[in-house]
């Protein structure tokens, strides 16, 4: 009993098996010296990188800023203890707005940025200084410092941009507009167009972030959606395969390094063909055929192979490759690199501009819209019932443990959200869309230089020029949006469509600074001979396109875009032309339509076949782009041509700008088949008048050069007086005031965008604001000095009304019913010249110059 509760009794240690950890222990003992050095090196080089790369970079940024402030401003190195304090952080934050560049127009720093600095410094300083810890007192003083910055007007809680909700209704409209624009106006790459639309539809369908399936910024690994992460099956027959798709997202935000947190989402083929433009399954199959993700090269062989397999699965040829690829500089798919996350934003904004959205969105707006759609649906599952059946607590449901037991998302909410979307009324407080698309104006080099000078940015640095370009484009869009908003807020009595403020703006080519900087000579026009046909230049083609040479994918549109031909429409082509077509490219004539094109609502077999084969390229050159993609399911590369929309005109061009310039004054008559001299069978158009046929003749005393060629930079010699006069009017207009900007309300040109002559300004009004010569006259008259007389404008005869002579003291009482008769009377009786007729016209709206 003496040993009861005694501490003097000795017990042996618990004996462990000699085999437990034997190999690891032996390895530790053997490598003890090298491990000591390696572990010390790791600790010395350890970085605070416990989060996503972008977060780590942000935290490092704030730490370096604070370290510089503490060293040079606070002289923290002179203290006995170098550990920073909460007061040091407060003093740093108090001065921080003075050293940052604001994204707000008012120059204030965003409150979220200041809070990010506070949170980042708290963690970063805790990592680098073992004694650092913010007390409650110090945290409150930091918050008070931030509040003082808000009260002083240095920091703001206002949003840089308003949040938007891109619902499935908006996304369907946007993707449809993108497809229609590509069909009507061409695209640089159908691969890029289809991939972009697939990306938008996929994000909306699975309610994800763009970084969940594209590689996020600063990641270098394989953190992106691969073909092996998509399982696609056909559950029906060949006519209606009823495609079912399972997408596994391994790299969601917060779990990019934890594949056990993958999310599985199920999607199915949409039941209505009206929704094919946003049907992820159809778009994916067409895209897979184009890029060679499957072994088959057409839809028929592919679906037959799938239905013959017991699993009825689509087999990916390269399952480890990314689904979405980056773009090359020539706007083609780069099959060597995965798509970055910002690519989704750029394509989304392209669609928003085509759609006419007043505020440009970001990809996260798609996620918001999808959440809003899901909120309006009836319940598609009951997580509470699953929790109760599992015996989980509310904390397990909140931590996502219950979701792991539930597994994939079996409910296909995308089908429910898109069902009957066409019948849904427009939301009164939804996305604001203008009546016209937004067309981005190309920025001149002088504009970027001037912005850099005015804002203290170095002109020679690439980053500064990119910043200037983005700022100018933002200003350009804001100006357009403000003008469109004013039109939408106007009274019900709207101006007619021909008003300048209602026109769709086109690219401008009349910048004064650009003209002088580049010594305007204009692009060298190719010389047309019988050996070199005009088909490969931006001139009216003399030969209509043979149907067999048109891309087969575009034949689907023949009834819509006017490609149907009869034997009477065909024109014989010379052997040289045929050989040229075969050697260069196949021209494709296309036309615009306001109706939804048939291929967008076609059955699944026609839809997939059309989008998997079409391979038409829109480039403003006479040849196909270098390395134009071909193969797999794609047709042979062919060239897209822009044709005039006017009835009866068959002119076609390599660029929409040239087509629109032609349409400004086109009256619907074809210029392809002008009268030729007898016996001339060349395919190029012949001069339509004797004056043009004699244009090669040289006037007496000519050729001459421009006397002011040192100013205009035009060094060529002029063979006729008329050619020299035309040049002088264009570049040396003495009656035109200097530093003259556009005076059309709502013009997107900056205020310092000047026009060097009346001719350039008139071209701007016609090509940019789509004004006729007559409608442009009032804007020209406001600029010209008083008393300047101009010739009657083109189209004045059509607006002429019968009148007696309006010349003072004219003795004639004849009422002139025809414009030509009245002009002849003024010329013969009153000895008036062409520039003086306007003052004696009865119409008050006689407009622009005959030379415009």
CA separation (Å) from 259 to 250, 264, 667? 5, 12, 64
Nearest Cα residue to 243 out of 632, 603, 604: 604
pLDDT of the residue at 233: 95
Establish whether the linkage from the previous residue to 440 is cis, with ω within 30° of 0.
no
Q: Are 315 and 295 in contact (CB under 8 A)?
A: yes
Identify the H or E element spanning 589.
strand 587-590
Say whether the peptide bond before residue 131 is cis (omega within 30 degrees of 0): no
Looking at residue 175, its pLDDT comes to: 94
State the Cα–Cα distance between residues 426 and 29, nearest whole angstrom: 74
- Adjacent-strand bridge partners of 431: none
Beta-carbon contacts of 530 under 8 Å, excluding residues fewer than 6 positions away, are 576, 682, 684
Q: Which residues pair with 340 in a beta bridge?
A: 215
Q: What is the dihedral of CA 538, 544, 547, 549, to 10 degrees?
A: -40
Identify the CA nearest to 695 among candidates 731, 734, 722: 722
CA dihedral 475, 476, 481, 483 (to 10 degrees): 110
Residue 278, helix vs strand vs coil: helix
- As beta bridge partners, residue 326 has 334
Q: Which residue has tokens 């040993």?
A: 3
- What pLDDT score does 792 carry? 56
Distances (CA, A) of 45 to 31, 49, 61, 64, 278: 21, 12, 18, 17, 50
Residue 215: DSSP 8-state? B
Per-residue tokens: 310 = 């017991």
Q: What is the pTM of this model?
A: 0.66
DSSP characters over 571-587: ----HHHHHHHHHS--E
Q: Are 369 and 170 in contact (CB under 8 A)?
A: yes
> CB of 286 within 8 A of CB of 611?
yes
Whole-number Å distance between alpha carbons of 291 and 584: 24
**Of the candidates 353, 349, 368, 342, the residue with the CA atom closest to the CA atom of residue 166:** 368
| Three-class DSSP labels, 148-207 | HHHHCCCEECCCCCCCCCCCHHHHHHHHHHHHHHHHHHCCCCHHHHHHHHHHHHHHHHHC
Tokens of 40: 């010390």
Q: Which two tokens stand for residue 607?
A: 């839809």
Residues in the chain: 852
Instruction: Say how far residue 774 (Cα) sits from the centre of its chain.
Output: 34
Is the backbone of residue 679 left (phi > 0), alpha (psi -120 to 50) or beta? Answer: left
* Run of H or E including 286: helix 280-291
CA distance 455 to 811: 67
Give the pair of three-digit tokens for residue 578: 């045929």
End-to-end CA distance of the chain: 124
| Domain segments of the chain as ranges | 53-156, 168-376+411-423, 378-407, 445-508, 538-598+620-678, 786-852
Residues 143/325, Cβ–Cβ less than 8 Å: no
Query: CA–CA separation, 3 vs 11, rounded Å?
Result: 13
Distance CA 192, CA 324 (A): 10
Pairing of strands 638-643, 325-327: unpaired
Q: Which of 86, 217, 243, 99 is nearest to 607 (CA)?
A: 243
How far is the C-alpha of 282 from the C-alpha of 414, rounded, in Å? 14
- What is the Cα–Cα distance from 85 to 258, expressed in whole angstroms? 36
Structure tokens given for 33: 């010296």
User: Which residues, including other chains, have CB under 8 Å from residue 556's CB and lie 6 or more apart?
Assistant: 598, 599, 602, 606, 610
Q: Mean pLDDT for each 10-residue chunk of the chain (852 residues)?
A: 60 68 88 91 84 86 92 86 90 92 82 92 91 92 94 89 89 93 88 95 92 88 91 93 93 80 89 92 96 94 94 94 92 91 92 92 90 79 68 74 70 79 69 86 87 88 89 88 85 47 42 36 36 33 34 36 34 34 33 54 92 88 81 88 77 79 71 43 45 61 85 83 86 86 77 84 78 79 75 60 84 80 85 78 48 34
Question: C-alpha angle with apex 743: 738 to 747, nearest 5 degrees?
Answer: 120
How many other CB atoms sit within 10 Å of the CB of residue 703?
A: 13
3-state secondary structure labels for all residues of 733-774: CCCCCCCECCCCCCCCCCCCCCECCHHHHHHHHHHCCCCCHH
CATH number of the domain located at residue range(s) 168-376+411-423 in this protein: 1.10.443
Q: Comparing C-alpha atoms, which of 238, 226, 246, 229 is closest to residue 306?
A: 238
Which residues are CB-contacts of 759 (< 8 A; sequence separation ≥ 6)? 729, 730, 733, 851, 852
pLDDT of amino acid 530 = 35
Residue the block writes with tokens 């190029």: 684
């Amino acid at each position: 009993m003496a040993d009861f509760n005694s501490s003097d009794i000795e017990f042996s240690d618990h004996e462990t098996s000699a085999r437990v950890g034997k190999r690891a222990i032996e390895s530790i003992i053997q490598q003890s010296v090298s491990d000591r050095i390696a572990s010390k090196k790791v600790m010395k080089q350890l970085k605070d990188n416990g989060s996503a790369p972008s977060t780590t970079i942000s935290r490092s940024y704030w730490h370096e800023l604070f370290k510089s402030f503490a060293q040079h401003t606070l002289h923290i190195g002179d203290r006995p203890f170098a550990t920073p304090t909460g007061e040091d952080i407060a003093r740093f934050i108090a001065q921080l707005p003075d050293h940052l560049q604001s994204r707000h127009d008012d120059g204030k720093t965003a409150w979220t940025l200041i809070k990010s600095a506070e949170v980042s410094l708290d963690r970063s300083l805790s990592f680098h200084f073992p004694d650092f810890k913010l007390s409650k007192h110090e945290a409150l003083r930091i918050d008070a410092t931030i509040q003082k910055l808000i009260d002083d007007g240095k920091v703001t809680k206002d949003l840089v941009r308003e949040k938007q909700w891109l619902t499935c209704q908006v996304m369907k409209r946007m993707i449809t507009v993108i497809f229609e624009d590509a069909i009507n106006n061409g695209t640089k790459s159908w691969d890029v167009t289809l991939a972009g639309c697939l990306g938008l539809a996929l994000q909306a369908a699975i309610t994800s972030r763009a970084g969940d399936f594209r590689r996020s910024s600063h990641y270098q690994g394989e953190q992106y959606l691969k073909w092996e992460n998509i399982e696609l099956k056909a559950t029906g027959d060949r006519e209606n395969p009823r495609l079912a798709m399972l997408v596994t997202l391994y790299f969601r935000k917060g779990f990019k390094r934890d594949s056990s947190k993958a999310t599985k989402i199920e999607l199915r083929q949409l039941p209505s063909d009206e929704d094919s433009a946003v049907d992820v399954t159809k778009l994916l199959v067409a895209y897979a055929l184009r890029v060679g993700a499957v072994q088959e090269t057409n839809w028929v062989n592919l679906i037959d192979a799938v239905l013959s397999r017991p699993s009825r699965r689509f087999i990916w040829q390269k399952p480890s490759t990314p689904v979405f690829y980056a773009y090359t500089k020539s706007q083609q798919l780069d099959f060597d690199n995965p798509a970055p996350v910002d690519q989704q934003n750029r394509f989304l904004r392209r669609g928003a501009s085509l759609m006419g959205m007043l505020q440009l969105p970001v990809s996260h707006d798609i996620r918001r819209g999808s959440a809003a759609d899901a909120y309006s649906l009836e319940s598609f599952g009951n997580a509470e019932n699953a929790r109760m059946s599992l015996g989980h607590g509310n904390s397990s449901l909140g931590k996502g443990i219950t979701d792991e037991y539930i597994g994939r998302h079996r409910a296909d909410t995308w089908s429910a959200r898109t069902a009957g979307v066409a019948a849904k009324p427009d939301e009164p407080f939804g996305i604001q869309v203008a009546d016209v698309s937004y067309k981005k104006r190309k920025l001149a080099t002088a504009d970027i230089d001037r912005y850099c000078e005015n804002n203290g940015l170095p002109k020679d640095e690439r980053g500064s020029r990119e910043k200037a370009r983005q700022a100018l484009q933002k200003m350009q869009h804001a100006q357009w949006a403000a003008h469109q908003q004013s039109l939408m807020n106007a009274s019900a009595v709207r101006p007619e469509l021909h008003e300048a403020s209602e026109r769709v703006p086109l690219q401008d080519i009349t910048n004064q600074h650009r003209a002088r900087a580049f010594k305007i000579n204009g692009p060298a026009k190719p010389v047309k001979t019988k050996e070199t046909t005009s088909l490969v230049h931006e001139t009216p083609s003399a030969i209509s396109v043979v149907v067999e040479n048109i891309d087969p994918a575009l034949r689907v549109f023949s009834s819509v875009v006017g490609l149907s031909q009869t034997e009477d429409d065909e024109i014989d082509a010379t052997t040289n032309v045929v050989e040229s077509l075969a050697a260069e490219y196949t021209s494709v004539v296309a036309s615009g339509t306001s109706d939804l094109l048939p291929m967008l609502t076609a059955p699944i077999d026609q839809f997939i076949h059309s989008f998997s084969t079409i391979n038409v390229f829109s480039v403003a050159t006479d040849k196909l782009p270098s390395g134009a993609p071909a193969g797999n399911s794609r047709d042979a590369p062919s060239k897209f041509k822009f044709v005039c929309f006017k009835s009866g005109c068959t002119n076609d061009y390599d660029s929409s700008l040239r087509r629109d310039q032609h349409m400004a004054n086109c009256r619907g008559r074809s210029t392809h088949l002008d009268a030729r001299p007898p016996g001339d069978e060349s395919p190029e158009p012949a001069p339509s008048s004797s004056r043009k046929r004699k244009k090669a003749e040289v006037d007496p005393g000519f050729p001459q050069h421009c006397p002011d060629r040192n100013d205009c930079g035009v060094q060529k010699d002029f063979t006729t007086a008329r050619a020299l006069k035309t040049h002088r009017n264009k570049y040396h207009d003495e009656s035109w005031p200097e530093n003259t900007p556009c005076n059309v309300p709502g013009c997107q040109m900056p205020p310092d965008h000047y026009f060097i002559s009346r001719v350039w300004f008139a071209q701007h009004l016609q090509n940019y604001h789509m004004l006729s010569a007559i409608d442009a006259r009032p804007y020209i008259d406001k600029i010209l000095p008083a008393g300047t007389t101009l010739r009657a404008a083109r189209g004045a005869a059509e607006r002429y009304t019968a009148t007696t002579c309006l010349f003072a003291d004219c003795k004639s009482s004849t009422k002139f019913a025809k414009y030509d008769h009245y002009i002849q009377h003024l010329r013969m009786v009153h000895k008036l010249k062409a520039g003086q007729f306007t003052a004696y016209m009865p119409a008050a709206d006689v407009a622009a110059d005959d030379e415009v």
